[in-house]
Structure 1
């Protein structure tokens, strides 16, 4: 079992160049301090080390008061390049901006961050990457470079049928031994 503390981004300091740069950016702009009441978690490809050139930093947040959240985003991040706030649904706020050439996307919703699909996908993907090793990681990155999104890339390598986002979540219940035998 792999028990990385995903809430503490200090793991990025020991990572690849982009992870180290991401750590420096995130700590410099104090984003996790600013968003602390929203239980922020960095998710996606950069934490997993399967990012490609245009990968962004995705931060998920649990939000109860969206107007207050929007004001915090504006007050703290509107100074950055290409700052924008969009609304996907009534209870989803997305904020994007660029710092030192890396896009940051903050996704605020009413879901607990540790129960969100983005976090759950990352946990499953981390387990798979640790189980299957460097060739598996390379296959995922190659598919991403060729235009596939992360979850479809995992699904293709694992030969999962149907909706890749749902299929990956089904793998949460498998033990590492079951995953290793199955794929």
Structure 2
């Protein structure tokens, strides 16, 4: 379902606007060699005012990727790009603003459908479809300042120090991923 962004056209007004911004930017075509997938809150309809458009990609040559990102989006408002180490994995992250949306591009050296951002989204989407009250409660918790994964964990009363890992473990135990 999330392989292309056409589903956004039949969503909320904000999802429609996000679809248009992504299309106008041409990012899915310009970066198609990296198998881009929109992840996070917009695809599953739990975005709030300051939510960004997270696009994850499969990247092995970080230098080439950084050059391409710089060439394509270096002139966009608020552009910044950096390499990070997240959970012992090297990644490239770029941010910029286009048509009122903050974009976050995330490149990691593994297939997109095995990246944590994608797995979290699949788990969260399944929970939204299974539990009628969870969407409204998660949005309420997000508006109170919680990030998405901690909000889901709070609703589900999952214990532990790392809500990102806790949610993955929950999804595995429930047979979602």
Per the alignment, residue 180 of structure 1 pairs with: none
Provide Cα deviations, 1:64-108, integer angstroms capped at 9, x if missing partner. 111111111011111211111111138311110001111000001
Matched, 1:88 2:79: no
Q: SS at the partner of 1:84?
A: strand
Per the alignment, residue 46 of structure 1 pairs with: 42
Query: Under a length normalisation based on structure 1, what TM-score does the superposition of the two structures give?
Result: 0.90
1:37 corresponds to which of 33, 39, 43: 33
Query: Under a length normalisation based on structure 2, what TM-score does the superposition of the two structures give?
Result: 0.92
Counterparts of 1:13-162 in structure 2, within 5 Å, are 13-89=9-85, 91-133=90-132, 135-162=133-160
Provide Cα deviations, 1:106-164, integer angstroms capped at 9, x if missing partner. 0011121100110000000000001112x221100000000000011001111110022
**2: CA distance, partners of 1:54 / 1:71:** 28
**1: CA distance, partners of 2:20 / 2:125:** 22
Number of positions where the alignment pairs a residue of Structure 1 with one of Structure 2: 171
CA RMSD of superposed structures (Å): 1.3
How far did residue 172 of structure 1 move? Answer: 2.5
The structure with the greater share of residues assigned to helix is 1
CA contact (8 A) 1:66 1:91 kept: no
Where does the alignment leave 5 or more consecutive residues of structure 1 unmatched?
177-183
**4+ residue segments displaced more than 3 Å:** none
How far did residue 175 of structure 1 move? Answer: 4.5
